Amino acid sequence: MSPINLRSLQALKSQQQKFAVLTAYDATFAQLAADAGIESLLVGDSLGMVLQGQQSTLPVTLEEMVYHTACVARGNQRAQRPAFIMTDLPFMSYGTLEQGIASARAVMQAGAHMVKIEGDEWLAPLITSLAQQGVPVCAHLGLTPQAVNKLGGYRVQGREQQAADALVNAAMELADAGADMILLECVPSSLARRVTDAVAIPVIGIGAGNATDAQVLVMHDMLGLNSQHVPKFVKNFMTDGRTVQQAFKAYADEVKAGTFPSAEHEFA
């Protein structure tokens, strides 16, 4: 089967079919996830916490993102239908246009098919420049973990009307600038629906309800490996004696059926 690409994911949105995204950090789990029907793999800077034991994503370096992207790309190539790979550009690796272009080049040459960056309207010039150079971009809005110190912790965003309106406007502006996807983290489900309806590009949610075009979870969370703090939006799919690949498939199936996330995983 032909690999999943950006056109594949855009077609799913157009056909109102949901798709599943999952973090991956190495070759083995990348292949297992792709073979289980996960359409997109996110090489997330969440590796700082789940692999390195850091307190946040801030210590993760560009070199580490390049390394893990290359590992995921090799495993993905062995899958029956290779998934679409997104890679986070880490903290302060895209503060200027030149820096962002150099960081994007590094992870794309390592095997990513898209870069993901956190921020709002200020990202527009970088997104436009990357788009002109053939680099697909996912813009991450809502709770942006790289700004955790500015936000005052991991808090739901967009609950006030003014903040919600600003987020919708930012999503539209970044889509107009050339973004190919939007990722919404920890926002009320009603706001996520507004954004999903407002843009023609796919919208991925995490802690954003089930009105979005896709869902993403951190692999370690959905396998029940994070017992210290389980976010409201997480479901453990590693139950009923499932193997890892069966858990991946159960997650993908529930996302596509629209049964995950349910009301218990949403923010009002």
d(CA 22, CA 40): 7
Where are the chain's structural domains? Answer: 6-265
Active site residue 185: yes
- Alpha carbon separation from 263 to 45, 159, 186, 195 (Å, rounded): 28, 17, 14, 19
114 contacts 69 by C-beta, under 8 angstroms? no
Backbone torsions φ then ψ of 86, nearest 5 degrees? -110, 145
Assign domain 6-265 to a CATH class: alpha beta
User: Phi-psi region for residue 111, left (φ > 0), alpha (ψ -120 to 50) or beta?
Assistant: left
pLDDT the model gives residue 230: 86
Predicted TM-score of the model (pTM): 0.97
Tens of pLDDT along the chain (268 residues) come to: 899 999 999 999 999 999 999 999 999 999 999 999 999 999 999 999 999 999 999 999 999 999 999 999 999 999 999 999 999 999 999 999 999 999 999 999 999 999 999 999 999 999 999 999 999 999 999 999 999 999 988 899 999 999 999 999 999 999 999 999 999 999 999 999 999 999 999 999 999 999 999 999 999 999 999 877 889 999 999 998 999 999 999 999 999 999 999 999 999 8
Residue 164: enclosing H or E segment and its boundaries?
A: helix 161-177
Catalytic residue among 39, 118, 185, 254: 185
Per the omega criterion (within 30 degrees of 0), is the bond before 261 cis?
yes
Cα–Cα distance between 93 and 82 in angstroms, integer? 28
Tell me what pLDDT residue 229 has.
80
